[in-house]
Structure 1
Amino acid sequence: MPLLHRFLETQALRNDRFTGLWRKRCRPDSVAYAAWLRAHGGLHAMGPDCLINFDVTITDPAYTRLGRGVCLATCSLIGHDASVAVLNPAYGVKLDAVGKIDVGDHVFIGHQAIVLAGVTIGERSIVAAGAVVSKDVPAGSIVGGVPARVIGQTDELVEKLKAKTAELPWADLIAKREGGFDPAMEPELVRRRVAHFFAPRAAPAARDERRD
């Protein structure tokens, strides 16, 4: 890690200083940003072993709770409905529209998904990319769509992926891997994947130039 990056990360994690510059220049990984969020993000609570992308949006951290092993891709957790700022003067009322977001253990929320105020996501659930979650998600469910609805069960997905993984040309590496990422193993893993994904195309059949 370059000296400047190390300095910025140390200052951000220890003292919450230069955090914007750290995010912009260093694009911290999900482990480092989760550590910053736990220390300085103002969440109601956050369990251990979380992975949080640095460009996640959490509008109301005080009303947000993350369980153990939560993984947030580039998604948005929106704990309020800002339309009341328009409705209050327009109708001469005093409305409030704020709610908690409660994410259980071992939940994955995908790229550009949106979780709205008042939602509880049960443990071992998956929110698909682009989903808009406006209602509670039962534990062990996969939800997707706009608005999000249950489209599968995580137990079934695990069994399907186990079978597919066993057939991969790099299955032996996956079996040896500790945790989700092993830098020493990554070059060989990438090499095998590329060789599998982009196998040489078969040569086109020779055209028959004979004429009747």
Structure 2
Amino acid sequence: MGLKKIVTILKSQYYRISKSGAAYARYVGVEVGENCRILTSSFGSEPWLIKIGNKVTITSGVRIITHDGATWLVEDEDGRREFFARVEIEDNVFVGLNAIIMPGVKIESNSIVAAGSVVTKSVPSGSIVGGNPARIIAKTEDYKKRVLESYVSKSEMDYSKPFKERVLEVVSNDFKPFLK
């Protein structure tokens, strides 16, 4: 292994460990807007095909894929086939834990991708999507209304107390209804 390769690996690890997720994403070639929380480092082999807008949260375990690796199986006298496609995530988007964003997907503004979702098609503005494959399950505005009506606000929490104590004072003891 050459010195240049070692320096590249060390620099990548430095960004991954010591810098913000947005700084690491920019380092590997992702176009990233302002005020983003990026908690993943999985941008595939073509990170320069990914564009992330402003005020986007991408949680841990999220994978953004920009190519179709199954083309490995398709070859004729002209050679193996390749497919690459951009992924764009617009402003004010939340992508939940372990979601997978497939090639060619655009997630429009003010949308939420539920944890564990596999997003195979583009997401229209103001939508909440979930499942495998992801489908529209609600509107972001309805979710916002429910949160404002039912969830505790920061002003209602006692920040003079340690985090655990503060959370235990406001935690919900209700469980969700059983699946039918």
TM-score, normalised on structure 1? 0.68
Deviation at 1:185, TM superposition (A): 3.1
Q: Name the amino acid aligned to 1:20.
A: Q
1:84 has 2:71 as partner: yes
Deviation at 1:123, TM superposition (A): 0.3
1:57 has 2:36 as partner: no
- The answer for the alignment partner of 1:133 in structure 2 is 119
Identity of aligned residues (%): 28
The one of the two structures with greater contact order (alpha-carbon pairs below 8 A, sep at least 6) is: 2
- What secondary structure, in the 3-state scheme, does the structure 2 residue paired with 1:129 have? coil
Whole-angstrom CA distance in 2 between matches of 1:135 and 1:129:
16
Whole-angstrom CA distance in 2 between matches of 1:94 and 1:36:
32
RMSD of aligned alpha carbons: 2.9
Whole-angstrom CA distance in 2 between matches of 1:198 and 1:78:
36
Contact 2:21-2:41 within 8 A present in 1 as well: no
Deviation at 1:93, TM superposition (A): 4.5
Gaps of 5+ in 2: 1-7, 174-180
Higher share of residues assigned helix: 1
Alignment coverage as a number of residue pairs: 164
Whole-angstrom CA distance in 1 between matches of 2:24 and 2:47:
13
Q: 1:87 to 1:135 in 2, by over 3 A?
A: same
**Which residue of the other structure, out of 35, 54, 59, is the alignment partner of 2:23?**
35
Contact 1:131-1:144 within 8 A present in 2 as well: yes
TM-score, normalised on structure 2? 0.78
Whole-angstrom CA distance in 1 between matches of 2:9 and 2:93:
27
- What secondary structure, in the 3-state scheme, does the structure 1 residue paired with 2:129 have? strand
Larger Rg: 1
Contact 2:110-2:127 within 8 A present in 1 as well: yes
Q: Name the amino acid aligned to 1:158.
A: K
